[in-house]
Amino acid sequence: MISKKELNQAREIAANLELEGRELLFEKTDEEILSLVNGIGPGWFPESLRKLINKFNPSLIVPSMIHDLQWSYGDGTRQHFKESNEQFKRNGYKLADYNYPWYHRRRYLVRFQSWEFCRLCMKAPGWITYKASVTKRRIEEYEEKIKGMAVEK
């Protein structure tokens, strides 16, 4: 859903604005990132719905990419879950303030959407999705470890 060009643009924005969690965009390979980020909304949303949400919230795509990576590489605790959602909100505020002057109504709409998406992520389906993302990553790491052990023999 996200192209390599968009990923590079996201890295530049995240670095220039010093977004929280931006290091994940630089620590992981393009392939890893592109396989994990899916735009705004959970992976179980249809892609067409996520594309629509992205279209109406372009300022929040970069924060959502960081958020997706945080959920995939999280430690599975409620504390990390809560903090990743709060970071999404704070990063969204930064993008709103960067993209729009103080007098533009869109600035406050993007800020509201950041708050609202954070609030929605904190609901029960968000916690379940977070735990599923962490578990999926752990299983994949375990499978890679097993493959590596089989190759060594």
Average pLDDT value for the chain: 92
- Exposed / middle / buried, residue 17 (Cβ in 10 Å: 0-12, 13-18, 19+): middle
pLDDT at 153: 58
* Residue showing tokens 């303030």: 97
Crossing angle (nearest 10°) for helices 105-121 and 78-99: 170
Question: Residue 89 and residue 18: Cα distance in Å, rounded?
Answer: 14
Model pLDDT, residue 141:
86
Single pTM value for the model = 0.90
